[in-house]
Amino acid sequence: MPSRSIGHRCCFCSKLRSFVGQCGSDAFITDGFNSWNKTERLALHVGDVNSFHNRALKKSEDLMRQERSIAVAFHKQTETEKNEHRIRLNASITACRFVLKNALPFRGHDESEMCISKGMFLETLSLIGECNRDIGKVILKKAPKNNQMVSPSIQKDIASCFANLVLKSIREEIGDDVFALLVDESSDVSKKEQMAVVLRYVDARGIVKERFFGIVHVTSTSSSILKSAIDTLFVEHGLSLKQLRGQGYDGASNMRGEFNGLKSLILNENSSAYYIHCFAHQLQLVVVAVANKHDGVENFFNMLSMVVNVVNASCKRKDMLRQSYKDRVQEAIGNCEIETGRGLHQELSLIRAGDTRWGSHYKTMASLFALFPNVIEVLQYVEEDGDNGFSRTQATGILSYLKTFDFVMYLHLMFHILQVTDLLSRALQKKDQDIVEAISLIRGTKQLLQTFRESGFDPLLKKMYSFCQANGIASLDMAECYKKNGRRRTNITNRHYYEFDIFNTVVDMQLQEFGNRFSEVGTELLKNIAAFSPCDSFSRFNVSDLLELSKFYPYDFDCMEVIALEKELNMYYVIVRQDERFADLSGIAELARLMVDTKKHKTYPLVYRLLKLALVLQVATATVERCFSAMKIVKTDLRNKIGDQFLNVALICTIEKEALLDVTSDDVVSQFQKMKTRRTQL
């Protein structure tokens, strides 16, 4: 065998020398070329179109092409065989697209011939064949054994083609323009730390987009390792940190550290990559801080969690709760106390609050309001017929607390506070939320809380009395002296205690935390951005503030462009105020889209450039958190051995469904053929 290889090599070398002898001089392979300082010698060697050099170059290029390669020459196929191969490949691409879009596992537990269910990919492919006879004739069992296009490696190659084309479309949308970076890390089901990367940018139509760009396995969550992973990802896709104009994280120390955090490492390379702490995370910390600092609020949330745990502890108790609510609704309908209609009075259950989203406590309290009599009924059952002494004692303690006026006070107070902040919380979850609108919502929320602080106690007290009367809870006379633990305090009335010691204290703590947590809302950068707002016929427009804003971005505006920007801003303000199409805009996101639609982004390019810089600043990291939710669907307990590379591919296609659907099968075929040498050339 070795002698045969040596013989082939000698034969190839002799043919190469013969080829060189026919096509030109052998100076480059034998004697060497030593006249590099005489560039004209190279031009003389190249010659005209039919020279020996160009003929040799043409033959070399032909040799490097897949369809002209030696490997393909050994497997010559007819046009019929190629058409059948194309049908098989397109069918596999269609099946792969369906599986990726729906975050389904490709392979089954058993894919043998005797198995009834062979996995989603093969079953989908089989269904395609059943629905189309022309496809069914050439796929799976009816295809050549070595050319069925269903092996795991083929499946992964096709999935990689989809992911690469999706990332290519995102990369083309960004181009050389600016963008913002959103990063967060979380562990997957196999306890591997994963870092998700999302890019926020403004596309050619003036639409703000937040697109998932990949997930990277990191061995540690230190800022240096995260920075290195981001650098590698950027280099791989031709992005530069110089394009970065914003960065947003959840506020962890390794992210926002002033000296060694990821924020600081990026700012050292690009001072225009301004960091903004996730507004949704800050809003959550406002409620958490109050719950930790005020004993009454902390005790209320602990008891609320205990109520949910006891009532939902078993299927029997949950069924009892549902049946009790159903009977109460039917009785109310029979007495004509409530209206009936489509979608009204659906089956309810006591909602469990989330561990990381304090806004979810709002839904828990809302369900408790609707189910309070039924919850009391279940707790009374547990108190009398509980499984053990501990559960009965626990139910007794909860019942005694739920029948106190303090519980009614904290329930109504915290429910109203979370109701006020719920609109802001939901608004911060939007992908396209611009920072000007978010700041406006934050200020509006603070104003509502301040109004509630000044004149909200009496209306709240009326609701509390109504609740107590409806549920048999003893009300208190606000003029009487306040009693605590059975002891009379003659110098404090009930009203003084509940209004000043509880109501005013808790609301003041909320307002103080709002000011502390959202301190960057008052920074010069965000104040200047607010001058772009088109609301109320551009009433907040200010040329001086916008010129100050341009100074925050020295990479985007030089001295001459700042002078030109001032002229553009003055003319822009006059024109858009007179244009009826710009009269009823609600935010800078709509302003950017309308500028593109009306071609004003070309008339005022510097104004539009400054507007885009304001739009790429992110509000929240909700998009990154949705990526982790998708990761829990893709990588499950039964699919916990999925590799990091394929996990990234599957997540890109699952999260960016719209981009996945825009990828054509012809593009996938072309990408698939270029990945490696294929036996069949299409």
pLDDT in tens, 130-172: 999 999 999 988 888 888 899 999 999 999 999 999 999 999 9
pLDDT reported for residue 488:
64
Lowest mean pLDDT among 71-85, 104-118, 314-328: 71-85
- What percentage of residues in the chain have a pLDDT greater than 90? 48
Mean pLDDT of 42-47: 71
pLDDT reported for residue 259:
63
Q: Quote the DSSP letter at residue 191.
A: S
Mean pLDDT of 492-516: 90
Pairwise CA distance, residues 482 & 498, whole Å: 9
Mean pLDDT of 444-465: 93
pLDDT reported for residue 20:
46
pLDDT reported for residue 336:
78
Of 422, 418, 424, nearest to 440 (Cα)? 424
pLDDT in tens, 615-663: 998 888 888 888 999 999 999 988 888 999 999 999 999 999 999 999 9
pLDDT reported for residue 656:
94
The structure tokens listed for 210 are 């937040």
- H or E segment to which residue 334 belongs: helix 315-334
Quick check: 514 and 525 in contact, CB under 8 A? Answer: no
Please state, in angstroms and as integers, the Cα–Cα distance from residue 458 to each residue in 105, 445, 493, 498, following that order. 57, 20, 15, 11
Amino acid identity, residue 25? S
- Residues in contact with 590: Cβ distance below 8 Å, sequence separation at least 6, in sequence order: 534
pLDDT reported for residue 65:
63
Please state, in angstroms and as integers, the Cα–Cα distance from residue 407 to each residue in 71, 488, 636, following that order. 80, 20, 41
The structure tokens listed for 79 are 């046009």
Lowest mean pLDDT among 53-62, 69-78, 253-262, 517-526: 69-78
Quick check: 92 and 155 in contact, CB under 8 A? Answer: yes
- Predicted confidence band of residue 79 (pLDDT cuts 50, 70, 90): confident
For the cut 90, the answer to whether the pLDDT of residue 544 exceeds it is yes
Give the up-direction half-sphere exposure of residue 401: CA atoms within 13 A in the CB hemisphere. 19
Pairwise CA distance, residues 358 & 3, whole Å: 75
pLDDT in tens, 251-265: 676 776 666 788 899
pLDDT reported for residue 15:
44
Mean pLDDT of 261-285: 87
For the cut 80, the answer to whether the pLDDT of residue 395 exceeds it is yes
For the cut 90, the answer to whether the pLDDT of residue 346 exceeds it is no
Secondary structure (3-state) at 619: coil
Pairing mode, strands 193-202 and 208-217 = antiparallel
The angle subtended at Cα 524 by Cα 519 and Cα 530, nearest 5°, is 95
pLDDT reported for residue 400:
93
Mean pLDDT of 510-536: 83
Task: State residue 214 phi and psi, 5-degree precision.
Answer: 145, 160
Pairwise CA distance, residues 89 & 95, whole Å: 10
For the cut 50, the answer to whether the pLDDT of residue 16 exceeds it is no
- Predicted confidence band of residue 429 (pLDDT cuts 50, 70, 90): confident
pLDDT reported for residue 285:
82
Of 623, 616, 675, nearest to 651 (Cα)? 623
Burial zone of 574 (CB within 10 Å; 0-12 exposed, 13-18 middle, 19+ buried)? exposed
Residue in this structure with the two tokens 């810089």, named with its chain if needed: 613
For the cut 80, the answer to whether the pLDDT of residue 322 exceeds it is yes
For the cut 50, the answer to whether the pLDDT of residue 10 exceeds it is no
For the cut 60, the answer to whether the pLDDT of residue 11 exceeds it is no
- What percentage of residues in the chain have a pLDDT greater than 70? 88
Mean pLDDT of 339-367: 77
pLDDT reported for residue 71:
55
The structure tokens listed for 619 are 């509000």
* Residue ranges of E strands in 99-192: 179-187
Which of the pair, 113 or 431, is modelled with greater confidence? 113
Which of the pair, 30 or 77, is modelled with greater confidence? 77
- Predicted confidence band of residue 248 (pLDDT cuts 50, 70, 90): confident
pLDDT reported for residue 547:
94
Which of the pair, 27 or 436, is modelled with greater confidence? 436
- Predicted confidence band of residue 343 (pLDDT cuts 50, 70, 90): low
- Predicted confidence band of residue 75 (pLDDT cuts 50, 70, 90): low
Of 456, 449, 377, 350, nearest to 409 (Cα)? 456
pLDDT reported for residue 160:
96
Lowest mean pLDDT among 86-90, 423-427, 553-557: 423-427
Mean pLDDT of 482-488: 71
Lowest mean pLDDT among 66-70, 198-202, 556-560: 66-70
pLDDT reported for residue 614:
92
pLDDT in tens, 204-243: 999 999 999 999 999 888 888 999 999 999 999 999 999 9
- Predicted confidence band of residue 273 (pLDDT cuts 50, 70, 90): very high
Of 220, 221, 230, nearest to 198 (Cα)? 230
Which of the pair, 63 or 15, is modelled with greater confidence? 63
Mean pLDDT of 281-285: 83
Mean pLDDT of 20-24: 47
* Residue ranges of E strands in 510-637: none
Question: Across all residues in the chain, what is the average pLDDT?
Answer: 85
For the cut 90, the answer to whether the pLDDT of residue 465 exceeds it is yes
Pairwise CA distance, residues 18 & 301, whole Å: 88
For the cut 80, the answer to whether the pLDDT of residue 29 exceeds it is no
Give start and end residues of each alpha helix (H) in 335-434: 360-385, 389-402, 405-427
Tell me the sheet residues that pair with 200.
180, 210
Which of the pair, 251 or 465, is modelled with greater confidence? 465
- Residues in contact with 492: Cβ distance below 8 Å, sequence separation at least 6, in sequence order: 481, 482
Mean pLDDT of 314-334: 87
Of 95, 101, 105, 96, nearest to 634 (Cα)? 105
pLDDT reported for residue 486:
61
- Is the model's pTM score more than 0.75? yes
Which of the pair, 364 or 337, is modelled with greater confidence? 364
Dihedral, 212, 213, 219, 222 alpha carbons, nearest 10: -80
- Residues in contact with 497: Cβ distance below 8 Å, sequence separation at least 6, in sequence order: 482
Lowest mean pLDDT among 431-435, 527-531, 542-546, 637-641: 431-435
